[in-house]
Every structure is written in structure tokens, then in C-alpha cells.
Chains A and B, each alone.
Chain A
């Protein structure tokens, strides 16, 4: 009885351990995630000057997601790291849209000024 109980408990421990650890095959490899992080960081360098031009929130979010992704990669959570970096990448679209909006606002002010 004690032996059986021990066996069951060990089995439960092992199953729970594997379900919470990242030893299940992740979809994305470490190198793929690292490459993606580097790509996003490089892209961010080009946009960092826009922080003071009304796009601070977006730049901050991208930086936060990159930081999270790196942290998750260190912890070997590759899939979660991939998702974080995917979220960071999405924000560049919003930055481009805001640039377009600011240009349209400038054009409108120029058109209506002194008329």
C-alpha cells in the first residue's frame, strides 16, 4: 500500500513538473526567437527619436515587450518570448499610423492658417 502510494505520488509529481516546465517541445527555437528580438531592437533604434514627438507610449511598450521577451528566453520559455516579441513588432504599425496622423494635422493647420 505504501509502495503503491509512493508510486502514485511520484507519478503525479512528474506529470505536474512537466506540465509547468518548458521541457515540452516549444514551437520556436531559441535562435529564431533571438533573431526576432535583434530585428525588433534594430527597428526600434530607427524609431527611438520619435519618443519626444508624441509616440512615447508606443516606444515604451515596445521596450517593455523586448525586455519581457529576453527575460522569458533566459527562463527558456521560447513560445512566450516569441509572443512577446510579436506584440512588440505590432506596435510599429501603430507608430507609422501616428506619423501619418501628425502629418495630416500639420497639413490641415497650414491650410487653415490665416485664411
Chain B
């Protein structure tokens, strides 16, 4: 009887230990599997990162997660399940980390591209203004073009030179900055009855931009001011150009 009790005691002790061991490894594996699944769901939710996720890491993670599930639910190899689950979680974390890095790299490239694009536009703009004799005055660009540079002698027809060198560049400025507007003012040195001549001069320039270059008429304003506004007390036959709204 005593021997039987002794054997039973030993058996009970061993059973208790082995059950405890199994329970420990099963609960560890369950925790790791849960973590791996959480990481997997996390990637699925991060739609912003999807285009940048490393497919190699992600697919390896999915394969390992499936292996972990099989080992846990079917084979009941909890140590192996825990191993695969940890590997799967690390693959998913790696995929997300790489995706975040790629997203930042892409943002840097876009930023630099926009920055240099703007810088290039600014340089181009400066070039146009210099060649068009326009200067920045406050928020607008102003300048004037004397009749001898704009029109064929004693007519109101635009010279080829004026078209190519000056007005085409003016058009490019308007194209670069779609929100900009231009005010064209005609001036005369001598008396201009009812501002007819000065208005005609401004209209010719305006019409060229509208009909030949295709600038919308709402962006162009023309005016004839006769000889009412001399330049430094000097009356000059000229066309004044003011460009406003040169911003992004």
C-alpha cells in the first residue's frame, strides 16, 4: 500500500510538471501569435504606406504567420509556433519601417523638385523682366516701352522685333503665373484728342496678346492716358506695362 501511494505520488508530480511546462509554452506561443497578427493588421490599416511596403518582407511575414498558426492549432508544437510567430512579427515590423523610410525619401525628392522648379521659374522670370525692361515696384512689375521699339515707324503696327523680343517674353511671364494680370497704358508726347492715339496703342498691344498669344481677355486691361502722365517731367511716346499678381 505504501509503495503504491509512493508511485502514485511520483506520477502525480511528473504529470503536474509536464502540464505546467506545456501550459507555459502554449501561453507564450499564444502571446507571440497574437502580436504577429496585430502587426499584420497594422500594415493592412496603414493605407498611406501601402505603395512603399517591401513586398519581400511582407510576403515572408505572411508565410511565417501561416506556419505559426499551423504549428499552434494543428501540430500543437508551441515552441515552433512561437519561433515562427516572432519571425513573422519582425518581418512585418521591418516592412513597415522600410515603408516609412521610402515615404520620407519620396517626400524629400518631391520637395526638392518643387523647390528647384520654383527657383528655376524665378530665374527665368528675372530673365524675362530684364529683357523686357520691367522692374519690380512693390508687388507689381512695371516698365515702359517706347514707341520706336514697339511699332513700325509712323504706324500702329507692331514690329517683328517687338513681337519676338518683348511681347513674347511678356506672354511667357503671364503663362508662368496664370493668376497674373497686365495693365497696358498708352501715352503720347504730344496732344492726344480724347486719348484716341494712346488708347489705340494700348489696344494694339492688348489685342496681340489676346488674339495671337491666346491670353484671356479678362487678364488684360488697356487704357489711353494721352500726355497726362509724363516720365520724370518728360513726355514720351510710350506704352506702359504693369504686371500684377506674380505669385504661385
Tell me the A residues contacting B by CB distance below 8 Å: 2, 5-6, 9-10, 12-13, 16-17, 19-20, 79-80, 83, 86-87, 90-91, 93-94, 97-98, 100-101, 103-105, 107-108, 111-112, 115
Contacts and interface: CB of A to CB of B under 8 A. Distances in A.
B112 interface: yes
Interface stretch (B79-87, B147-155, B214-222): B79-87
Contact of A111 (B91, B97, B108): B108
A111 B111 contact: yes
Interface residues of B, number: 34
B231 interface: no
B14 A112 contact: no
A93 B92 CA distance: 11
Among B4, B10, B11, B94, the one with the most A-chain Cβ atoms within 10 Å of its Cβ is B94
Contacts, number: 89
Contacts of B87: 86-87, 90
B17 A20 contact: yes
A104 B11 contact: no
B83 A13 contact: no
The 8 tightest CB contacts between A and B, nearest first, are A83-B83, A97-B97, A104-B101, A101-B101, A104-B104, A9-B7, A111-B108, A90-B90
A27 to B, nearest CB: 10
A90 B86 contact: yes
Nearest to B89: A90
Contacts of A104: 100-102, 104-105, 108
B101 A16 contact: no
Contact of A13 (B10, B86, B111): B10
Given A16-B14, A83-B80, A108-B111, 4 more contacts: A19-B18, A20-B21, A100-B97, A108-B104
**Dominant secondary structure of chain A at its interface with chain B:** helix
Interface of B: 3-4, 7-8, 10-11, 14-15, 17-18, 21, 57, 79-80, 82-83, 86-87, 90-91, 93-94, 97-98, 100-102, 104-105, 107-108, 111-112, 115
B97 A98 contact: yes
Nearest to B83: A83
A101 B80 contact: no
**Dominant secondary structure of chain B at its interface with chain A:** helix
B4 A108 contact: no
B3 A94 contact: no
Contact of A2 (B4, B90, B97, B100): B4
A37 to B, nearest CB: 15
Nearest to A5: B4
Contact of A115 (B8, B21, B104, B115): B115
A101 B87 CA distance: 20
B18 A13 contact: no
Given A87-B86, A107-B105, A97 B14 contact: no
Given A86-B87, A108-B108, A6 B3 contact: yes
Contacts of A100: 97-98, 101
Contact of A87 (B17, B83, B112): B83
Given A90-B87, A105-B104, A108-B107, A6 B98 contact: no
